[in-house]
Every structure is written in structure tokens, then in C-alpha cells.
Amino acid sequence: GATQYVSARVAPLGSQLVLVLVEDRTRERRLDAIRRDFTVNVSHELKTPVGALILLADAVSEASDDPEAVQRFSDRMRIEASRLSRLVKEIIELSRLQGDDPLEHPHSVDINAVIEAAVDRCRVDAEDRDIKIVVKTEPELEVMGSEDQLSIAIGNLVENAVNYSPDGTRVAVAAHPIGDLVEVTVSDQGVGIPTSDLERIFERFYRVDRARSRETGGTGLGLSIVKHIASIHGGDVRVWSVEGQGSTFTVRLPLRLESAPGQTGSPSQE
Ligand code: ADP
């Protein structure tokens, strides 16, 4: 077993080192198990849209002399295909985030640009459903990292806020500094999340209501991606929610260090 292996090789070097190796092998095994689970989940999640596409393709050929039915089935094929494409895109994104070098070339990122890109992505869906997105930020909030990744993270939160809210409600996005951190908050007046689900929603593929997530084209990977991006940037993400009243997600990130105040944006200060 692990103990024997470790003690045989390392015991002479001292007890502290032995402990480190035991810990290491446990971690390795745990990672193996997580990888195996992920592969099983991915195959399962891919089967659903692929299965639907096969059935719909059959239905289209059988309905060839009924143009209305052909139209209906091909519309549904388009929905399933875009779900599949989104799923694949997010699986690739997630495995890149879990790779060795997820932040290739960190640079100074303006949080306002991140929020603008994130809100832009959701604007059309929100307007269609009469949901107002209100943004409140402050100038000169900069972090070190990837603008693309941070826009994806905040975009996922805004997208969820819109998706899980009734028509005509309000989504608020705000950013402000707290000490040497910046806090970005996304709040909604939506369906909320039951307390018993709160600690699981950041897990890959976890969804409170599968049917609802599916309806909105959800993959169950959005929050897991947010969590990884926040952690890669040295920050974290938290959630508060009251079922039936709404949710608030908060991402905290370390502000870019500056050697002197008022020098924001000067690369020589990095
Ligand atoms: P999905 O693609 O299903 O939205 P996420 O990982 O983004 O996956 O979110 C996981 C689950 O957490 C969702 O399926 C939903 O049940 C819940 N959730 C996320 N954001 C919100 C929100 N703003 N309001 C209510 N429920 C939410």
C-alpha cells in the first residue's frame, strides 16, 4: 500500500518528509478519481444532445412530405446542435483552465472593460425579456490577468442572473475596491437557490433544476468555470441567495499592485 511504499523509500530522511509523500499520493489518487468522474459525466452529458439529434434527423426524413413538420424538427435540431457546440466549447475551456499554464501572459486588465464586455453579451436576451441590467462601477480598478477569462467569468454570472430571473426584473452589476481587492457583485431578483444546493452549485455539471437549466441552454459548467478563473487570478467567488427572492454572486480579485498612487496603466510599474 501507500504507507509501505513511502516508508521504504523515505523513512530514513525523517518523519516530516514521510508525511508529505503520503499526502501527495492521496492527492494524486483523488485527482485520478476526479478525472475519471469527469470523463464519465462528459460522456453522459454529450449523449443527450447527440441522441436528440439522431432522433430528429430520423424524424426529418420521415416527415419529408410535411414541410411544417420538417421546419419544426430542423428548428429543434438547430437548438440541440448549438447546445452541443456550447458544451464542447465549455469542456475545452474548463480543461484549459485546469492545465499547467492557464494564465499565459498576464497583463493589466481594466475591470470596467471586463464588465462592459460581460454585460454586452447578455444585453439582447435581457432586453427581449424586459430585464434591466444596471451597472455601477468606479474608475481605475485594475487587476493582473486575462481580460478574456475575466469577461467570461463575469459574463457567466450576468447570463445566469438573466436566465434565472422572471421577465421585467432587475440585474445589478457593481464593482468597488475593498482594501487591496476589487469586489465585483452580480445580483438578481430571480428564483434564488435553495440553501441545501448552495455549496454544490460550483461543481461541474451540478444544476438545481435540470429542466430549467436545459430550457435556457445551460450546461452546468458555467459556475465551475467562474470558480476556476477567480482562483487562477488569486481570488474567489461566493454566493448568497434566498429562494424565491434572488441571488448575489461576488467575485473578489487582488487589485494590481502599484508602487505609487496615480501611476495606473504604466507598464514599468508592474
Ligand atoms: P447552468 O449552465 O445550468 O446555468 P451553472 O454552472 O452556471 O450552470 O449554474 C449551476 C446551477 O446553479 C444552475 O443550473 C442553477 O440551478 C443555479 N444558478 C446559477 N446561477 C443562478 C442564479 N443567478 N439564480 C438562480 N439559480 C442559479
Full pLDDT tens readout for the chain, 270 residues: 444 344 444 445 555 555 566 666 788 888 888 888 888 889 989 998 999 999 999 999 999 899 999 999 999 999 999 989 999 999 999 999 988 889 888 999 999 999 999 999 999 999 999 999 999 999 999 999 999 999 999 999 999 999 999 999 999 999 999 999 999 999 999 999 999 999 999 999 999 987 777 777 788 999 999 999 999 999 999 999 999 999 999 999 999 987 444 444 444 433
Distance 63 CA to ligand 1 centre (A): 36
CA distances (Å), origin 62, targets 48, 50, 54, 55, 147: 21, 19, 13, 11, 48
* Contact yes or no for 193/243 (Cβ under 8 A): yes
In 3-state terms, what secondary structure has residue 248? strand
CB atoms within 10 A of CB 69: 14
Residue 255 CA to ligand 1 centre (angstroms): 27
Give the contacts of 38 (CB within 8 A, at least 6 positions apart).
204
**Complex ipTM tops 0.90:** yes
Smallest Cα–Cα separation from 157: which of 133, 129, 128?
133
Which amino acid appears at position 69 of this protein?
Answer: A
- Any atom of ligand 1 within 6 Å of the Cβ of 165: no
Query: How many angstroms separate the alpha carbon of residue 148 from the centre of ligand 1?
Result: 21
Ligand 1 pocket test, candidate residues 97, 223, 224, 225, most atoms within 8 A of CB: 223
Give yes or no for residue 202 CB within 6 A of ligand 1: no
- Cα→Cα distances 242→13, 154, 159, 195, 248, Å: 53, 21, 19, 8, 9
For ligand 1, atom 25, name the residue with the nearest CA. 192
Beta-strand ranges (E) seen in 168-245 are: 170-178, 181-187, 236-242
222 Cβ below 6 A of ligand 1: yes
In the reported structure, the alpha carbon of residue 164 is separated from the centroid of ligand 1 by a whole-number distance in angstroms of 7
User: Of 188, 172, 181, nearest to 137 (Cα)?
Assistant: 172
With a 6 Å cutoff on the Cβ, whether 250 touches ligand 1 is no
Whether residue 209 has its Cβ less than 6 Å from ligand 1: yes
pTM, two decimals, is 0.83
Q: And the C-alpha cell for 109?
A: 486588465
User: Do residues 243 and 249 touch, judged by C-beta distance below 8 A?
Assistant: no
**Residue 15 near residue 6, CB atoms below 8 Å:** no
